[in-house]
Structure 1
Amino acid sequence: MNRRNLAIIGILVVLVAVAGIYAYTSTQADTSRLIVSTTTSLEDTGLLEEIETAFEEEYSGVDVSVISGGTGIALQYGERGDADVLLTHDKVREEEFVENGFGTERTEIAYNYFWIVGPEDDPAEISGLNATEAFAKIMEKGQNNPDKVKFASRGDDSGTHAREKLIWEMTGVSYDEVSGSGAWYIESGRGMGQTLLLASEQDAYTLTDSGTFLAYTQEGRIQIVPIVTTGDELLNIYAAMPVNPERHPVNYEGAQNFVDFLVSPEGQEIIQNYGEEQYGEPLFNPISEGLPS
């Protein structure tokens, strides 16, 4: 065998070795980085920033990166393997995510409530009604007088949007009927904070999580007020889900550590106290207290 052939063989051996190394490393997760895909409500309120700081102090070798969007977007990130762990608030889709093998388990971490908020003079006269009755009244008044009664929807496939659609269905009409029923119904296609700003500008009603509403009210960015704030239809539960490492090369160890931290005494204490000093009341309730009966 001449030198030229030996050289070619040597090059091929190197190429095969490099390809093998690349194939191996491409299936290994970067354990120094943890990608958290979360809802806009956890991001907009600032809670996740405080949790991130505490988690990185305990796990000093891990850098947490946060991707914020609606629950629908978060679930898509998880299905594609673009995140290691999800924080969302739509139980039906979360259970489907786990059942379909994209996540390993669903762990509830906190809850608060959705609120129906709107103009202080309450032109649809929904004060004292439950959520389903309030939605029906808003639709009736909005169709009859769209200049005075409006509803701003997120329209973004988020957890809040999913709950809105569920409440419309409970009124006895389909969501498609509602969304195409006139100028009174406005779809923002944006996150919770931006939708609250739109509702305030338009003197419209909207469905919001209580935490984001309190944060934006404290900052003086909106003038609408809470009107319907209680009832089983409005209970808002947040859950964490590690992405399945058998589906994608994710940082599963880091994801599980993050979930464990969220439900640990330290994590639950952060959730329990967050917002009390700044807003006068906590924005979330820790799951360790149990769900309301």
Structure 2
Amino acid sequence: MFNVKKAFGFAIAATLIIVSPVKADEIIKLATTTSTENSGLLKNLLPTFEAETGYKVQVIATGTGKALKLARQGDVDVIMTHAPDAEAKFVEEGYGLNPRGIMANDFVILGPKNDPAKIRGSKTAEEAFAKIANSGATFISRGDNSGTNMKEIIIWNKANIDNNFPSYKAVGQGMGKTLLMANELQGYTLSDRGTFVAYKAKLDLAIDFDGGAALANPYQIMQINPSKYPDLNHAGAKALSDWLISAEAQGMINSYKVQGEQLFKATYSE
């Protein structure tokens, strides 16, 4: 005979199992760059890691400078960034442990397809930036202390150009929004190639300068020093770092494509 009370009890139990919250030690707080989020890479990688380990990754996508600040404050368990000098300082200060280079792409200078500043054919990024500044063409900067913004400032400094010229606009946005603004204003901007490829269908911009190895863009994952913040999820951070250098994850990074184009190259080696 059908027992209504027993059936109802089973239903309640099943509901409780489904909605039971994730335990604190199962959550990994990852601060990373907007490029890893905007490109769709993390959405491709993390479900596999979570299914295999039982951890749940909470992604905070922001500029590298903000990601490092969150780590210094003990607000995240692990970081994945792309600003080598800033990362080296983070380790030297005793905050970062076990930096691992996991992948790379490169930076490109995007601009209108008719290239009004005539930067195509430039021999260096510095020469291209100088042409943009001297032509009066619009340049859209992320202006957010991200790894991309840090690289941009390095280029301006090497070119001996003050980037406070009238057509320079710092927008304080992530890479995706910066690309959309550059597209709307038909200006130039510096972008990582991965985010550009992911957004290309929405843009009427071209790669007007490709610097190759000179504009390399390496990404690292780093754990937070337990001596600074012992209560963070260090076990989860290590699990994520270990997984990202595994053959499985490195293969997934290499095989991830958007519109048939590879966005990142796996770089980890023992």
1:54 paired residue number: 48
Moved over 6 A (4+): none
Query: Which of 115, 124, 127 does residue 133 from structure 1 map onto?
Result: 127
Alpha-carbon distance in 2 for matches of 1:101, 1:58: 31
Q: Which structure dedicates a bigger proportion of its chain to strand?
A: 2
1:198 aligns with 2:181: yes
Determine if contact 2:223/2:238 at 8 Å carries over to the other structure: yes
2:241 paired residue number: 259
Determine if contact 1:85/1:243 at 8 Å carries over to the other structure: yes
Query: Runs of 5+ in structure 2 lacking a partner?
Result: 1-22
Q: Deviations over 1:242-265 (max 9, x none)?
A: 111111111111111111111110
Percent identity over paired residues = 41
1:42 aligns with 2:23: no
Query: Which of 240, 263, 268 does residue 283 from structure 1 map onto?
Result: 263
Alpha-carbon distance in 1 for matches of 2:214, 2:126: 8
Determine if contact 2:197/2:261 at 8 Å carries over to the other structure: no
2:57 paired residue number: 64
Query: Which of 222, 225, 229 does residue 210 from structure 2 map onto?
Result: 229
1:244 aligns with 2:225: yes
1:89 aligns with 2:72: no
Task: Tell me by how many angstroms 1:106 deviates.
Answer: 1.3
1:124 paired residue number: 117
Determine if contact 2:103/2:267 at 8 Å carries over to the other structure: yes
Query: Which of 177, 188, 194 does residue 211 from structure 1 map onto?
Result: 194
Paired residue secondary structure (2:228): coil
Q: Deviations over 1:16-62 (max 9, x none)?
A: xxxxxxxxxxxxx94211111010000011101121111111102x1
Paired residue secondary structure (2:25): coil
Task: Tell me by how many angstroms 1:181 deviates.
Answer: 2.0
Alpha-carbon distance in 1 for matches of 2:107, 2:244: 22
Task: Tell me by how many angstroms 1:105 deviates.
Answer: 2.4
Q: Which has the larger radius of gyration?
A: 1
Give the TM-score taking structure 2 as reference length.
0.88
1:24 paired residue number: none
Distance change in 2, residues 1:201/1:289 (3 Å): farther
Alpha-carbon distance in 2 for matches of 1:262, 1:289: 12
CA RMSD, Structure 1 to Structure 2 (Å) = 1.5
Alpha-carbon distance in 1 for matches of 2:106, 2:80: 16
2:224 is matched by which residue type in structure 1? V
Query: Runs of 5+ in structure 1 lacking a partner?
Result: 1-28, 143-148
2:160 paired residue number: 172
1:271 paired residue number: 253
Task: Tell me by how many angstroms 1:289 deviates.
Answer: 7.6
Give the TM-score taking structure 1 as reference length.
0.81
